[in-house]
Each structure stands twice: as C-alpha cells, then as structure tokens.
Structure 1
C-alpha cells in the first residue's frame, strides 16, 4: 500500500470507514460498546475486510442507549473488553484515512478510551462526510446520515448498528468524491482545507462540545513532510552510471556448460544469448541465462542439463530499462518483476549494457524506492492516482537533501512520462477489450513541453501527441488513434494530470498524425512564422517518446532541429519571443510583486527556456533539456560565455524555488501555482533571485548576439 499523503487523490485513498456505538452521546463519559469498520481500497469498498465487534464497556449500558443501538448488558457476557480488542483495531486502521459521519465524535471517544486505559493512540488523518456533503451538495440543508443516504438512494439495513452505519458512510463518501472533484476538491489536503475554511460553524459546535477536530490542518509541517530515511544515491544517479557495459554474449547453440564457464571466468552472474550482430546493427537477443537458471536446470535434470543449448534455457522476453532512468526505478522494477537482471537500452531502444541486483546490493533498496514502480503495475486510473500522490512528499525530501533541482525535475518528468506510458497501455488494452482490435500500424506516444525537456514541476498538465507510421487525416488509422488519445487523456485526468487548457493532447486532430503529416506540419511551422506556428514549435521541439516505436519520434526530432537551423528567419522569429517580457524590477531596483508574490514562470523560467531553445534550434543543438542546450551553446565559445554559465546555475535555482513553493501549496491543500511568495525567502535567496532575474534581463541581447 502506497504512503497516503495530502496529495493523494480522494478517489485513490486507502481508507477505513468507521463507526462506534457507545453507552452515551456525552463524549466526556461515553464508553465504546461496538466497533464497526471496513476497508476502502482506491475507490472500492472491501466487504471481505471488515471489523464488527461488540465490546464490554465494563460499566452498565443505560436502557436509553440500548433502545438506540440494540446492545444490551446481557449481550456482553462473552464480549472482550476494549484492551483485548484495541490492538486489532489499530492494525485494522493502520496507515488509512478514517471516514465517518460526525467522525469528530468517534475520534474523541477513541482518544478518551486510550487515555482511560493507558493504550497507544495516534490520531489518524480523517474526513467527515457531514462536513464534506455541503461542499458537494450546497442545496442539501440537512447532511444527516439518513438524509444523505436517501439523497443517494443508499439503503441502510440496520441503522445504529456500527458496521451498517460505517458501510453507509463509506458508500456516501464514494458518491461524494466525483461531486467534490467537480467543485475543484480532488485531493485529501484540498478536502481538509475546504472543511477548515468553509465549515466553521459546524467545527465550532464540535469544539464547544469538547470533540476532536474532524480533519487535520494540511499545512501542519508534520503532515507535509516528505518520506524519510532513504539513500539519495538512487535519485542522484542514472542507471547508466552503474551498469555493466558491453554485456557478455554467447551464441544460441552454446551449451549450458560453456555458458557457465564463461560466467565463472568473467566473474559475472548472467550472459545474453544472441546471434552475432552485423556491423551497425543492434543485437537480436533471444534472452538471458543467469546463474539461477543454471542451478534450476541442474536441480531438475542433473548433469545432463549442462548439455542443453543456451537458446533452450534462455529466459525471454528480456526486461529492460533506459540508461537515463534513475537507479530507484531499476530497483523498483526488479522488485515488481521479481527479476535480478535488466537490460539497459538507450533512447533508441538499442542494448548498451546490463544491470543486476548484485550491482545494487550496496543500496538500501526498500528505502530507496519511495517512488516505486507502482505506476508500471497500475490497473486503472485510481492506481495511477495513488502512485502520483506520493510524488510531492518525495520531492520535499529531495529538496531537504539539497539534491540538484535539475535532477529533481528530471525525476518528476520521469514519473509524468511513466504515467503517460501506462495510460497508453491501459487505453490500448481497453480498446482491445471493446473489440476495436490492435493498433492499425506502428506508432509512438510522445510528451511535449517541460515533460519532454525533463524539467517538469508539480503543476502538470497533459502535453502529449501521437505519431503513427501511415494514414490520412480522418482515415481509419487516424480514427483509431483519436480514440486511443481520448482514452489516454481521460485516464490521465482522472489520475491527477489534468487536461491541457491549450488542447495539446493526442485526442485532438492537430496533435496526432502520420510521419508524413508531421513532416508537412514542421515545414509549415518553419516556413511561416505566425504566432500559432511559433507556439507549436515551442511545444513540439521539446518532445520525447514514452511508448511504442520510439524511433519515429527520434527521427522527427532530429529533422525538426535540422530544418529549424537552416531557416534563419524562423530562428530569428523564435528569438523575438523573449523581447517583450516585462521587467520584474521597479525604478528603485526592487522586485515588483503583487501581494509580495512573483510569477516566476513568466519573469524567470519562460525567457530563459525560450531564449535557450531558440539558440539551440539556430545552432542545431538537438538536445532536450535546457541545461544540455546551454552546455551545447557554451561549446561554441561565442558571445557572453560567463552569462551562459550563470544561466545554467540560475535555471537550477529557479526550478528549486518553484518546486519548494508548489510542494508547500499542494501539502496545504492549495492548487499549485507559478507564483513564489517572496516573504518566505531568506536574505541569501532574495539576493540570488535578484541576480538571476537581472541576468535573465540580458537574454534578448544574448539571443541577438548568438543568432548569427
């Protein structure tokens, strides 16, 4: 079960619906007589995982209470007391958000009983449907359990039975979730914040009654902190830094004995089985033979197994990972697939090395995979949302560890790419299940913008496109991919990556097409520099493939830079985009900001990224990341090289400020924005920000100098 954070979507919560029946409605004296609870897993109630216990309160139950819940003193003869049931309750609700109607009362009773009996108790995060309902149903004036159940057509079989009431509360919560999402309340922290801001009268009544608060304050630093105690090596290094290059290859007809001798002589734990590669061609790999495969064969067949051909024993298909992926992803993929070896491939899916569990032994794997491979095994949008919800807390921890912001944004981008890839896989699977068949031709899904550059922040939207091998606009191929794009977009939106406001999604005709159509679009964009074409270029020239036949994307990416570099007027028009950005400084040299908040994307990141992109296109520096483009410009040894070097540092600094600000906003239940609160910056960071913005003001001059 993934760690629940404030960023976890309500639809993806691992929760527990809870209700208590007590000896009295007076929380100061009430004792528990019945516990009803059932688990809720990512939008589904698990009716097989329930807790239904009558508890001996060790005091007589008043007849007035028995009339309500039906539990009499005679029914307590074989019931355990609370001490015997307590540990089971804690295990049942551990790491889950409590859901209930008037949950503040139940939390108050639990805290009082724990204190009374000297029992362990730590208040969990919780949500009260009595307070959530008015946020989603403003026309419902009586949010009682009975009225809410009637509103949604939910039958409560045994009212005032703890388990029955808990089930009703859970079902009502699930009905409220999509309505809350329509109101802009999507995550746990957003729900907590909304209750605290908009339910003041109800909260005050509970406080006057001496009840616990029904929700936590999401801005509490204890809640908003990241995931602790892990080794940041797995986030600092790519797989390519640790892999074994030039993996050992044996021919398919090699005997298992010879393969074993090769492994022993080389001190390695596996060999690849493949035909010898022709010059310039990638290996055609049959599979992999490992030490464990040899041991299994010998255990089954004895010495005769050593005469078997390697091709007959090799395990395939060979699981792979990109060399630019971070080590944490290799570790989590091995755990998920239960493999000890992964092939390492480059961006063109060509084999470049191997990485094994032995290579990773020095790392503490359980801690290092706080961002695990849950995306890769997600079966629906709720699973994806659950995995995505862990990201802001991990980012917080990486910031606290002073990890380079360029690497943190690469990690965020890796997760966005993985989310898009998995959404494509799920969409394709669903299309097959609906009788729409396989893809009509090879294709690739690409991400655009910051996701393609590897510079994503925590305010994502969908920037994606599809390139397919052949087919006409509105033809059968295009219609199939239109449906795929629409399903992808719906999955991503439900999982927490919202629709692109600008419509840059493969479900829209202008963001999908055949290779030939994309090439004609590129020609149009480069030849006619109108504002819309320049906007498209800003997005498309940052693209990266995430799924399918990736070489379709790679080839188009290179052609785009080649064409752009040869059209000086086009490159010049791109550079002019940064000429009209208003200065963030006033006449006294102070930063101008509305309510002490500065739009750091507008005044900092946009001119830096756009100016660098224009120069990279002009000089055919076909790199994705702004940092790599700046490095490529530095190798030209032209213009103000000192400014170029400083811009690299400024870029990381601005990304770090944005990440910190957005993580705080998400954790406290606010929507992430492009604004930074200048009041939260210390003197050193304020000085760095002024230096960065001052240098960025010279980018138009730099672009003009280096354009020709």
Structure 2
C-alpha cells in the first residue's frame, strides 16, 4: 500500500500553522492566537484569538500587538482546540520554526488534559536552509528576509494567520528548488533536514519538538483498503435532494415527464402527501412505459402513474449513514431511495448517481443484511460482522465515536427487524405503538458488548373500553415485547440482566401510563426512580409510530421544568460514582483491568444528561449535548471538555474490545492499563481528576 512518505511534496495534504503566544518558553507560555491555512487552498483556514487566562507580558505585546483587552472575550484554548485539531487531522503540518509551535500546543493540550496526536511535520526554515545554505541563513534566516528574497508580501506580519500565509507562500516558492535538488517527496525532505544537526540540537535544547526526528510515517497516501471510510462517517442528509416532488396517482406519464423535464429530476414520488406515498416513477419507468401495449384510445403518455409506478418505496432515514443506503440499494437492486425524517414522512431522495459521486463503489459496500433477514439466525449472521467492521474502520482512521454511531445504527436495525418478525408472527397490533431503544443505543454510543435496553409505548384505549379489553391489549404488547427480546437474544444481543426490556410491564405501557410514571419519577425522586431516569431519558424511537415518543418527550419537558429537587436527586447520582483513583493516584484495577465505563464514562454521561434536562435540551448524543449545553451561554468551557473526555473513553474501550474479541476474550467495558501509551495514561489521569469534580461542576451550573 502506498505510504504517505512517498507522496510528492506538491501533492501532500498540507496545513501551515502559526501561533502568537505570551512568550517563548514552550512549557509555560500560553497561546493567544492561532492561524492556519492550506498552501494550496486559501479557503481552508483558521484565524482565532484565544484567551490565555493569564496576563500578556508587555514584551510580547510589542511583537504581535495583542493586549489583554484584545483577548478578554475570546474563547479559551479548550473551546478552540477541537476545531483546530479537526482541521489539521490527516494533514502534514508545516510552519516556520514549527517545532516551537508544536511544543506549545502539546504543552497546552497536556495542561488541559486534551488528546493531541499530530501527524508528521516539516519546518520551512529547515527546508530553506537546505536550499540557501547555512551561511546565507545566518544573514537572512528570519521570515521577513526570506519573504522579501522570494518576493512574498509581508501583509499581516506578526499575526498568526498573516505569518502562516507568508510561510505557506514561502513553502510554495521553495518547491521548484527543492525538486531541482531531488527533494521531491515527504521522505526526501525529512531525510534531508535530518542532517541539520546544529539547528536540531539548538531547538531541542530550547524545548522545541524535533520534527526531523519523528518516526517515519506509515499513514496511507489514500484510503485504499478494503473499506472506504466515507460512507461510515457521512450521513444521508448530507447528500439527499429535498424537498421531494410528489404528484397524484391519477396524473399521467405525460404529467410526470413534464415535471421531471422542468425541474431536471430523475424521479418523482406518487402519492397525496409526504406521509401518504404510494410509489415512485423514474426516468427508466417512463422509458419502459413507452414499450407497453396500449389500445388505440390510450396512448402511452396518457397512462395513469399508478399503473407504471414502482411500489413500495424503499427508504432510509436522513440520519442514517451512507453505508446503510448503499446496502439497501444493493440488496433491492434499485436506483433510488426515499429519505424519511424523524417522523417517518418523506423528506427527500438519493440515487445511485449521488452515491457514486461520493467515490463509493460496490466493493466498499458492507451490505444491508439486517433489512433482509428472515429469522433471528440471519440477524445473528449479520451482527457477527460488527467486530471485524469496527476493526477495519478503526484501522482506516475513522474516529471511534463515529464507529460507535455505526454500531448503534446496526443495533437499531436489529431491533426494528426483531419487531417486524415478531409482529409478522403475532398479527397486527391492536393499537399504534412505538419501540424505544434506551441507554447508549439512544445516544448513538453503543460498542461491542451489547445488551438489550428497550421499552414499548402504545396508544391509549378509548374511554369506553372495558377492563377486559385493556388487559387484552396489554397482554398482546407484553407478548410482543417478549417476542422481540427472544429474537434479539437469539441474534446475539443478550437479555438485559436488569430486566429493562419491553417484555416487562414496567417497560411496556400505554402513553398515559408512561406519562404517569414519568410524573412519579420526577416528584418522588427516590434512588430507584433516578436509576430509571438514567436508563429511560436517553430513549430514541426505532420503529412504529414516532409521534407517541414525541408526545412523551413533550410531557417530560413540561414535567421537569422548575423541578429543582428532581435535578438535585439526579446530581447526587453523579456524586455516588468513584473516579477509580487509588490512594496513590493510580488506576484502581480489578484483575488487572480498569472499569472505564463505571468510573468515568457513566458520571460524564450522567452529568451531561442532567445539564441537558435542566436546560430543556432534547439532544441525546453526549458530544452533541455538550455542544448544545455550551451554546446556552450559561455554563463554563469545562462542559466542552466533557465531550472530549467522553470520546476519549469510548476510543479506549472500543480499542480494547476489538483487541479482546480478536484474542477470543469477551468484550467488556474494562481496559488493560498496560496497553496504554504514556500520553494516554497522563490523559486518563487528567480525566479522573475532572471526574472527581463533576459533582461540584453540576451544582455550580444548576443552583
């Protein structure tokens, strides 16, 4: 497989980085401005002031002109860092004396307990030394002189973005001379600058990162492995066409053809509205219609659409990842998919053409086995591929948090299929219903050690219904819940040891029953009620009538409004967790493993849930919750840090699960600390320290 090291310099994915800081001591000085720009695409850039939370010395202000007043309202580093890290991810970092900048960033990340694993880097000053020689660089070795030598504008000098822009232009100006000196690839450049021992020694003594000494990169030139990460990290909503064009079943082929021509469409939907779709007609359907035998009275173009449409319409959710759409198109051998919103109404469509534009091919399709499963055994066979899929995605550099979303999507699909098979066996339900996935599945944070957490809501019986009729309805849904649980267990998703399944009357109720239960949880505030809230309040509907789940969410929002005692009870749950720290500050292990979920993941998740409830935020996903909570402007930046910590913990757990499953061990939520890199151990201890302060953070934000 091609290595990044062999890529020509002018074809690398590069980002030029520059900082303005409070001083030149890498270990203690702070960042006050970040500037980034791509040498080949100026639209890719960052220009961001940062509040260093310490005074800016006047000696530094004399250089960059920035004062305490300039950065007083700027975000702190913890807020800015995730966006910066995302921009430089999978890119080669370049900069003028970039070893200094990288050392300062590393110190800031370590100071705040943030995950920072930069890729390879090149120092433009070192590259210039290769071309101009040491003696020349002694005379004109600063950015101003070199820029003037190459005719580069000095506009914006001593601002982070201005200096980054100048450095990027200098790199481009050096490229022809580097190529003429047979320095054409990243490997060539790194090998050449490694000979500059005097520069490297001086900068290393100053505490800079020695970029020339970094290990040879093994990053892929392009992601050419068996799985393309794109369909596992992008959602249908990103490429769908919207709104859908819907016409009546009684309209004709001519009407459809005219609409498609005028709007430049390749399909139209047949129905009376987005919630009443009967079929779809594409350009190919119309072409085939021309070959239909017709009598003298009816010409082909006058044929009603209901006679030629394809039905039923195969759909995906707008929130599904693209690999689901690929699998569905492959399974059903079709060219168009309808796209539904959270209520199940048609919101748009996508086509094979849209997907192929995203560089996806059939070889990259994982498949849609769950949607075509005819039994629990078929479901089990499909789910058995999740560990290898997760390992492949991890190897391709997909973020573990995104992999968790893919896994969660498969568990939701399994639950939908289990409900479909159960209803096919039992016959139509007596009332409308909605099946809910609870816990991590509702948050899109499931990993490879699943169990069942689900509940059923069904519609209320009319007031005139007898007790016998009500009991018969409840019995049907309890039997339905049992059939769902049995199929999931047979498919490899084991029964919940705590009994949180729709086969139990506690988790299978009519809408009015659920509303009463929620009200009791909120008003009573008992310990067992708070545990139920932790499990239930992250629910997501997976199939059935989504409107029932929406009505219940409205009731939750009203019930918790202003209930400070309820929030205090939830906050006490967080206080009950131990961060898993020994008396000597180490990781508290059992049989050599540290229970990451128990000690860190749960208290972080619970903290975000309580804050979301207190601010009427319906978002379930942990990272999105943190972002939504922060945008209220009522919480400190530490809330965004919780998102970072959450994603780091999930990364460690998923990596351990993949390792354990490959070795024939069961997947758990505990990790082996011996497998952690030194930086990971430091970061984990920082998270432990923050977890120990979560209770105080909660009360500061709530009361």
Give the TM interval when normalised to the shorter protein: 0.5 to 0.7
Once the two structures are TM-superposed, the CA of residue 253 in structure 1 deviates from its matched residue by 4.2
1:575 corresponds, among 571, 574, 586, to: 571
Once the two structures are TM-superposed, the CA of residue 406 in structure 1 deviates from its matched residue by 2.1
Q: Give 3-state SS (helix, strand or coil) of 1:385's partner.
A: helix
Once the two structures are TM-superposed, the CA of residue 312 in structure 1 deviates from its matched residue by 3.5
Q: Does 1:676 align with 2:642?
A: no
1:450 corresponds, among 440, 459, 467, to: 440
What is residue 449 of structure 2 aligned with on the other side? 459
What is residue 242 of structure 2 aligned with on the other side? 245
What is residue 561 of structure 1 aligned with on the other side? 557
- In 2, distance between residues paired with 1:442 and 1:595? 48
**Deviations 1:247-288 (CA, angstroms, capped at 9, x unpaired):** 22334443312322332343321012334x5xxxx5533321
**Deviations 1:353-412 (CA, angstroms, capped at 9, x unpaired):** 111111112333323322x21111111111111101000111111112221222111111
Once the two structures are TM-superposed, the CA of residue 611 in structure 1 deviates from its matched residue by 0.9
Once the two structures are TM-superposed, the CA of residue 690 in structure 1 deviates from its matched residue by 2.0
Once the two structures are TM-superposed, the CA of residue 688 in structure 1 deviates from its matched residue by 2.2
1:260 corresponds, among 257, 262, 265, to: 257
Larger mean Cα displacement after TM superposition, 409-418 or 471-480 = 471-480
Q: Give 3-state SS (helix, strand or coil) of 2:641's partner.
A: helix
1:597 and 1:677 in contact (8 A); partners too: yes
What is residue 211 of structure 2 aligned with on the other side? none
**Deviations 1:122-175 (CA, angstroms, capped at 9, x unpaired):** xxxxxxxxxxxxxxxxxxxxxxxxxxxxxxxxxxxxxxxxxxxxxxxxxxxxxx
What is residue 477 of structure 1 aligned with on the other side? 473
- In 1, distance between residues paired with 2:331 and 2:540? 25
1:606 corresponds, among 599, 602, 607, to: 602
1:447 and 1:546 in contact (8 A); partners too: yes
What is residue 54 of structure 2 aligned with on the other side? none
**Deviations 1:549-598 (CA, angstroms, capped at 9, x unpaired):** 12111221232133123311111110111112223333443333335421
Matches within 5 A, 1:278-293: 282=274, 284-293=276-285
Q: Does 1:528 align with 2:520?
A: no
- In 2, distance between residues paired with 1:291 and 1:406? 40
CA separation of 1:619/1:583 partners in 2, compared to 1, >3 Å: closer, same or farther? same
1:357 corresponds, among 342, 352, 366, to: 352
CA separation of 1:283/1:387 partners in 2, compared to 1, >3 Å: closer, same or farther? closer
Q: Give 3-state SS (helix, strand or coil) of 2:347's partner.
A: strand
2:380 and 2:492 in contact (8 A); partners too: yes
Matches within 5 A, 1:484-523: 484-523=480-519
Gaps of 5+ in 1: 1-226, 433-437
Q: Give 3-state SS (helix, strand or coil) of 1:360's partner.
A: helix
Q: Give 3-state SS (helix, strand or coil) of 1:446's partner.
A: strand
- In 2, distance between residues paired with 1:315 and 1:470? 36
Q: Does 1:428 align with 2:427?
A: no
CA separation of 1:515/1:686 partners in 2, compared to 1, >3 Å: closer, same or farther? same
1:381 corresponds, among 376, 385, 408, to: 376
Matches within 5 A, 1:684-703: 684-703=679-698
Q: Give 3-state SS (helix, strand or coil) of 2:572's partner.
A: helix
- In 1, distance between residues paired with 2:401 and 2:229? 15
- In 2, distance between residues paired with 1:368 and 1:624? 30
1:231 and 1:367 in contact (8 A); partners too: no
- In 2, distance between residues paired with 1:247 and 1:583? 50
Matches within 5 A, 1:44-63: none
Once the two structures are TM-superposed, the CA of residue 664 in structure 1 deviates from its matched residue by 1.6
- In 1, distance between residues paired with 2:504 and 2:576? 30
* Higher RCO by CA contacts (8 Å cutoff, separation 6 or greater): 1
What is residue 330 of structure 1 aligned with on the other side? 325
Larger mean Cα displacement after TM superposition, 305-314 or 483-492 = 305-314
What is residue 315 of structure 1 aligned with on the other side? 310
- In 1, distance between residues paired with 2:290 and 2:363? 35
Once the two structures are TM-superposed, the CA of residue 698 in structure 1 deviates from its matched residue by 2.1
- In 1, distance between residues paired with 2:305 and 2:675? 62
Q: Give 3-state SS (helix, strand or coil) of 1:423's partner.
A: helix
- In 2, distance between residues paired with 1:600 and 1:308? 64
1:543 and 1:557 in contact (8 A); partners too: no
Q: Give 3-state SS (helix, strand or coil) of 2:344's partner.
A: coil
- In 1, distance between residues paired with 2:396 and 2:550? 34
Matches within 5 A, 1:136-151: none
**Deviations 1:588-642 (CA, angstroms, capped at 9, x unpaired):** 433333354211001110000011111111111111111121111101212322x
- In 2, distance between residues paired with 1:431 and 1:405? 39
Gaps of 5+ in 2: 1-223, 462-466
Q: Give 3-state SS (helix, strand or coil) of 1:566's partner.
A: coil
CA separation of 1:366/1:601 partners in 2, compared to 1, >3 Å: closer, same or farther? same
Matches within 5 A, 1:15-414: 228-275=225-272, 282=274, 284-301=276-293, 304-362=299-357, 363-370=359-366, 372-414=367-409
2:236 and 2:318 in contact (8 A); partners too: yes
1:410 and 1:455 in contact (8 A); partners too: yes
2:376 and 2:490 in contact (8 A); partners too: yes
1:439 corresponds, among 429, 435, 451, to: 429
What is residue 655 of structure 1 aligned with on the other side? 650
Q: Give 3-state SS (helix, strand or coil) of 1:359's partner.
A: helix
Larger mean Cα displacement after TM superposition, 445-454 or 247-256 = 247-256
- In 2, distance between residues paired with 1:696 and 1:558? 31
- In 1, distance between residues paired with 2:559 and 2:321? 32
- In 2, distance between residues paired with 1:564 and 1:454? 24
What is residue 84 of structure 2 aligned with on the other side? none
Matched residues, number: 471
- In 2, distance between residues paired with 1:274 and 1:378? 29
1:446 and 1:544 in contact (8 A); partners too: yes
- In 2, distance between residues paired with 1:234 and 1:392? 17
Q: Does 1:540 align with 2:530?
A: no
Q: Give 3-state SS (helix, strand or coil) of 1:581's partner.
A: coil
Once the two structures are TM-superposed, the CA of residue 671 in structure 1 deviates from its matched residue by 1.5
What is residue 22 of structure 1 aligned with on the other side? none
Q: Give 3-state SS (helix, strand or coil) of 2:455's partner.
A: strand
